[in-house]
Chain A
Amino acid sequence: MAEMTPIKVLFAALGGEGGGVLSSWIHAATVASGHFVQGTFIPGVAQRTGATTYYLEVVPGAGDRHRARGTRPVLALNAAPGEVDLVVASELLEAARAIQAGFVTPDRTLLIASSARVFTIDEKAVMGDGRLDQARMLEAAHRFSRRAVVADFAAAAAAAKAPINSVLLGAIAATGVLPVPADAFRAAIRSEGKAVEANLRGFEAGSAIALGSDPKATTHATAERQPGGLPPSLRLDAFPAEAHALIASGFARLADYQDEAYAQSYLARLARFTARPGVDASFMRELARHLAVRMSVEDVIRVAQLKLRDTRLARVARETRAGVHDIVDVTEYMKPGPEEVLGLLPPWLGRWAIARVSARGWESKSWPLKIKTTRLSGFLRLKMLAGLKRWRPRTHKFAQEGAWIARWLDLIERTLAVDPGAAREVVATAALVRGYADTYKRGLSNWSKIVDGVIEPALQGRLARLHFADAVLQARLAATKDPEGETLAQTIAAIRETLAPGRMAAE
């Protein structure tokens, strides 16, 4: 009964991507081509952007045969692992999910998958980088399918100004896995009657991708290049060659942030570590990276400076797809708090003022501003703020940041003497201190907890050297995963359990 074998098709998609319409196009085209088809889906609340699936079975040539005999195929409503001929996924994680469920197998499955990611909330919410490893998902896509057509279908859809479902339909048609001529799919789009032109454009774009020999896999490597505008006198010979590009970037950033003298002080701070045992190129790169970021903390002056960047409006217009004749208006949402504003005062005055403010419980007071930088008044206000740049080295905020950096560098230096591996982890803790206002304060407080609860005790020899690096790493990850919450407290408590009571020699 080989002629009776159904072709089984599974779509993995996100609610709202038009999977239902895609199914109905396939229905219409397969019925029109004389086949028997049955499909179903499980929308439920998943239609609200959750993961969902659509499933279809097509019995080739069975339409007429069954009408004549009065019988009907008994088709499944659920995909069975190992028994799917075509899996279409509009997003890479959903493709991986289908592969993990066993629906993609090397003996029979053609996989059409978008390499584009729509990140889940778990990935997005992490402070830092919580993204899944794309390379592994791509590897699984190629390894477990009979053939994989993997490309950025979301980008193709955007380029064709078409919905993604039509692009996927085009790819399905071009692979020939369904016994349906391309024109039958085009006719189905036309007879559906909605946004016909856009859908046909998408269909052709998708066909082109599937017919193209080389599936393009997207990678998001950050290109490292020597930044422009560096002084010709800049000498980096003292640093490992692999770190030069990053250090040069840091130098350029700080020269822009303040001035060249300040950037030179960055090099001086780095130079302190060049000859230390355990400091190799990768150590220096990480140190250079974190130090540059920490030395260019986003105070209100910096924010104003960034918002007046001359390339900014063109970027906004491009990213918001504004037309050439459209007018683009930008309203900044800014809300400096007392610490940020009073941080502009000299240290003695700033300290006093901030103490007064917290004594009165006004820390959470702030000034909500909506500043139109595309209009004169807004532009002027930011211009004035940015103009405070020369005053910056005399501010309370600057002094505070300088003290933090000195302490951090000191901790790194002391840790290097004990365990270079742990020192790398101490370098990485700098990433916890970032953001603005409460986020910044929480980060700072988490960092201090790690220093007091893990790093200092370890430096005092109360933690086995073997566990030093790992303890700092665990604490940092806990603070990254759950910046507001309990995880860090629990992790530190667990580490504290293992601490030796008083001072003792490091093992």
Chain B
Amino acid sequence: MAEVSFHKEIESLRLGDGDTFYGEGILAVTKALLQSGVAYVGGYQGAPVSHLLDVLVQSESLLADLGIHLETCTNEAAAAAMLGASISYPLRGAVTWKSIVGTNVAADALSNLASPGVMGGALIIVGEDYGEGASVIQERTHAFAAKSSLWLIDPRPDVPTLVHAVEKGFELSEASNTPVILELRIRACHMFGSFPAKDNRAAPHSTRNRIAPARFLYDRLSHPPATFRHEADKAERRLPAAQRFIADNKLNEQLGPDGGDIGIIVQGGLFNVLNGRLTLAGLSDAEGAVQIPTLVLNVVHPLVPDEITAFCAGKKAVLVVEEGAPDFIEQGIGQILRRADLQTRLHGKDLLPMAGEYTPLVVGKGLAAFLGRHGRAAAPLDRWIADVAATRAEVDKTLDAPLPPRPPTFCTGCPERPVFSAMKLLRQEMGPVHVAADIGCHSFATFAPFSQGNTILGYGMSLASAAAVSGTVEKRTVSVMGDGGFWHNGLITGVAGAVFNKDDSVLVVMNNGYSSATGQQDILSTKEAQDGRGKSLDIEAVLKSLGVPWIRHVRTYGVAGVVATLREAMRSSVKGLKVIIADGECQLARQRRIRPEMERKAAAGERVVRTRFWVDPEVCTGDHSCIRLSGCPSLTIKPSEDPLRPDPIAHVNNDCVGCGMCGEVAHAAQLCPSFAQIDVIRNPTGWDRLRRRMSAALMRLLGAPRDTARAPAPSLAPAE
């Protein structure tokens, strides 16, 4: 089950005419899909679009009512291929993933989908993971749209506009027989807002009313010679059809006064940022009443040349506000202007940066430069830019030191942390080892205090990325992969390839039971449960069937055992791939399960043992070597009470879930005797109390002060 429960949201997906939907952007898009009569939905999870699938997975009865087929795909390639249903059938369908990475994975299927084109509307909802908060390489989805002839919608970040974009996206797709990408930036996905809901629409053909198999039609295959006809059809028929639809339906918005000697062309997704700066410059207001002609491109590919020339004609200059590189839109506009022989001066990346997120300050500076260049300098905007710089300089002077970053890290009690502690210990013993890192929570091991990993080549790609390294570098390489990455791609790309090529290297598979980083979605090896989609598939059995010669399981919290197993893998005489399956359930998922259960038991008067760890403040010398091997958020520092030793000492705060990792590290690294495991027994039984009294009496007899002898207890199993 996913990290978030969408109890309320599921209800709002059922809203109809006359209701108002309140919610997150990505859920508004989900609702819009239902209002658009989709027959199928699929995708692969990833921020910022995970919630689309998560909420639908939890909405089984709603999907059944509407006859929608839902597929949680094994990867984005599968999701893109799923859109093949719309090639031969008039079925509307939508898939979703995180871009650019998901689009890269989907690329092969996307090309083959785009070539024959679609009959039913096909919508690809991508979370454009760009700028602050992004976790992937910074590239633009736009490139895929351009090269495969897919249309790209980049709507204004306003909830009703997003909903409208979905509905019109399907129509555009059908009008031009072309799949359409709806691109949503991170903040747009997570934007809370409202829109007037409509009734959901069941598709004419769906799981409830199945359609007859299509007859054979060679031109629906992306296979020569049809591919040559497709290429021509894209240019000669589908593109003009799309441009006509965009113009007729006014998908792009021209705002502000007609005429004027300067204008701005902006991606829909950036309009709100631009409007904020225009407002400051006295050229707009909070309702978007811009006083400078502005063309808002809600569809950024294809451009409609007539719209562009009509907008630019008679203007001295236009500014294109387009985020990221390359400057596809600006280049397109430049070509349109040149061809139309318009002498409008084209500004864009000359005044705005080629790289990086277009934040208010960035756009403000570009806008100020543009206005200044054309004699329209706005004093408040210029003053603001100067003030921001002055304030920042003042603040830096006051703070007098750079502020340390706070990157994300493994959660308290995470089962993956001990593996990286073990790897760090082994590194101290063996010297540097080439570590191929991967995508997933485990990529946090690249941050301090672990600072491990030589490459990240994509999701499930670690082992494949180590192939040549393992053949050319002195020591065996270690590749790390999550179970999510394993099923997504790593099994075939990595394991099968390494076995086939007899690569002599080590792979650690983090078997935490979920696709954790994306929000704990179920995967094939997730334990089968009533409310989940897991299939309890055994990773070891799969590896064996592929012929992996050396497989070990380790319990991750046993740090010494992990070190020993890693050492064995590095030194084993067995040639070929050696796989360590590191078992430990995602702690977030585990806590969500056991915490309410513990609370219920304690309230009901049942015996409950709460385990946590503790650092003895008198024994701790404040060297913090435990922290350098752990990085656990609950293992922190606190002021020393000892005037002779004023440096802060290590301290376990009350967020500790008692995983025992810090104690195990102290043992494995032979760090210090400061750690203690504390078991607090609530509602002790009569036997607990009797033992306590007996031990206490004996200890007092042997000279223990009263207090020390107070709390004997029975032997207890620590938390898993």
Contact = CB atoms under 8 A, between A and B. Distances in A.
A132 B401 contact: yes
A27 B192 CA distance: 8
Interface of B: 22, 25, 47-48, 129, 132-135, 156-158, 160, 186-188, 190-194, 271-273, 275-277, 280, 285-288, 359-361, 364, 384, 387-388, 391-392, 394-396, 398-401, 403-412, 428, 441, 444, 447-449, 517, 560, 612, 614, 616, 618-619, 621-625, 627-628, 631, 633, 635-637, 639-648, 654, 663, 666-667, 669-673, 675-684, 688-689, 692, 695, 698-699, 702-713, 715-716
Contacts of A128: 622, 624, 647
Interface string A111-127: 00000001111111111
A249 B644 contact: yes
Given A313-B711, A328-B680, A438-B669, A320 B612 contact: yes
B627 A45 contact: no
Contacts of A93: 403-404, 406
Contacts of A139: 398
Contacts, number: 391
B624 A127 contact: yes
| 10 tightest Cβ-Cβ pairs between the two chains A and B | A42-B133, A50-B408, A310-B705, A80-B360, A74-B288, A329-B713, A435-B623, A51-B406, A77-B187, A122-B404
A431 interface: yes
Nearest to A442: B625
A15 interface: yes
A507 to B, nearest CB: 33
A143 B391 CA distance: 11
Contact of B710 (A129, A313, A332): A313
Interface string A319-354: 111110111111111111100000000000000000
Contact of A121 (B448, B560, B673, B708): B448
B275 A436 contact: no
B22 A75 contact: no
Contacts of A122: 404-405, 448
Contact of B276 (A4, A80, A246, A327): A80
A333 B633 CA distance: 20
A31 interface: yes
Given A100-B403, A306-B618, A328 B713 contact: yes
The size bracket of the interface on A is 35 or more
Nearest to B3: A47
Contacts of B359: 78, 80
B313 to A, nearest CB: 27
Contacts of B406: 14, 50-51, 93-94, 120
A312 B708 contact: yes
B398 A78 contact: no
A81 B410 CA distance: 31
A320 B129 CA distance: 41
Contacts of A97: 403
B695 A118 contact: no
A48 B408 contact: yes
A489 to B, nearest CB: 15
A23 B190 CA distance: 11
Contact of B392 (A102, A119, A120): A102
B676 A330 contact: yes
A366 B670 contact: yes
Contacts of B134: 44
A331 B360 contact: no
B692 A327 contact: yes
B287 A74 contact: yes
Contact of A316 (B517, B614, B675, B684): B614
A329 B395 contact: no
A375 B637 contact: no
Nearest to B614: A316
Contacts of A431: 647
A443 interface: yes
B669 to A, nearest CB: 7
A256 to B, nearest CB: 11
A169 B704 CA distance: 49
18 contacts: A4-B285, A5-B286, A73-B286, A73-B287, A75-B272, A76-B276, A77-B272, A78-B360, A102-B392, A125-B448, A132-B404, A246-B644, A303-B673, A316-B678, A329-B680, A331-B676, A374-B711, A383-B702
Nearest to B414: A48
Given A48-B408, A99-B395, A82 B387 contact: yes
Nearest to B444: A48
A373 interface: yes
Interface stretch (A33-41, A464-472, A491-499): A33-41
Interface string A363-385: 01010101011111001100100
A77 B191 contact: yes
B22 to A, nearest CB: 7
Nearest to A79: B360
A327 B619 contact: no
A441 B359 CA distance: 50
Contact of A43 (B47, B396, B680): B47
Contacts of B272: 74-77
Given A127-B624, A136-B399, A333-B667, 5 more contacts: A40-B187, A52-B133, A314-B707, A335-B667, A374-B695
Nearest to B654: A321
A308 interface: yes
A434 B621 CA distance: 6
B187 A78 contact: yes
A163 interface: no
A284 to B, nearest CB: 14
A153 B191 CA distance: 27
A439 B276 CA distance: 55
Contacts of A51: 405-406
Interface string A421-439: 0000000000100111111
Contacts of B364: 80
A133 interface: yes
Contacts of A321: 654
B376 to A, nearest CB: 21
B645 A293 contact: yes
Contacts of A40: 25, 187-188, 190-192
Given A78-B359, A123-B404, A376 B707 contact: no
Contacts of A202: none
Contacts of B273: 76-78
A306 B710 contact: no
Contact of A484 (B394, B398, B628): B628
A233 interface: no
A71 B287 contact: yes
Contacts of A325: 682-684
Contacts of A48: 408-411, 441, 444, 517
A328 B711 contact: yes
B121 to A, nearest CB: 27
Given A50-B406, A435-B621, A45 B643 contact: no
A303 B405 CA distance: 36
Contact of A81 (B360, B409, B682, B708): B360
Contacts of B675: 332-333
Given A74-B287, A119-B636, A102 B388 contact: yes
A200 interface: no
A214 interface: no
Contacts of B517: 45, 48
A282 to B, nearest CB: 14
A136 B135 contact: no
In the complex, which of the residues A1, A4, A102, A380 has the most CB atoms of chain B within 10 Å of its own CB atom?
A102
B190 A43 contact: yes
A127 B625 contact: yes
A136 B444 contact: no
Interface string A49-62: 11110010001000
